[in-house]
Amino acid sequence: MRGVLVKEWTEFDNLTLEDCPMPEPGPGEVRLRLQAGGVSFAASLVVAGKYQRKPPLPFVPGTEGAGIVDAVGAGSPGSSRATGSPRSSARAPWANTRWSGRATASSCPTASSSTAPSASPRPT
């Protein structure tokens, strides 16, 4: 997996994309193959070590993302259903992650994931 890995407190401009370990979902979690992630002023403070909450180094910043469920932890709702299908009831295209929203995959509690509303049709 690829992600923006923070190894030391720094500014956004100094971050690079690196190989990171693939997160495995634990009990009650899902793993999303992320397709989009949020960037905020608060995230820049976290990266610089200036936010009130500091994750242990190294970490991948970002606390929200959207994507497709590609793995489901034991005991998670939908753990007996197929993953990856846009029509799957195991789909959770939006989630609050603990950290790692700026990577190609992220694990998060199923309680913090939600199905996004249907997109408006594109004009033809």
Domain count for the chain, please give it. Answer: 1
Are the CB atoms for 59 and 26 separated by under 8 Å? no
Rounded CA-CA distance 53/66 in Å is 23
Any domain includes 69:
yes
* Residues above pLDDT 70, as percent of the chain: 62
Residue 78: inside a domain = yes
Taking residues 59-75, report their average pLDDT: 83
- Contact predicate 47/9, CB 8 Å: yes
* Mean pLDDT along residues 91-109: 62
pTM here is: 0.68
Q: Which residue has the higher pLDDT, 10 or 98?
A: 10
Q: Is the pLDDT of residue 78 over 80?
A: no
- Structure tokens, 91: 């789909």
Which structural domain range is residue 74 located in?
2-114
CATH number at residue 57: 3.90.180.10
User: What is the dihedral angle through the alpha carbons of 32, 22, 44, 11, rounded to the nearest 10 degrees?
Assistant: -150
Q: What is the pLDDT of residue 11?
A: 94
Let me know if residue 70 belongs to a domain: yes
In a domain, 24, yes or no: yes
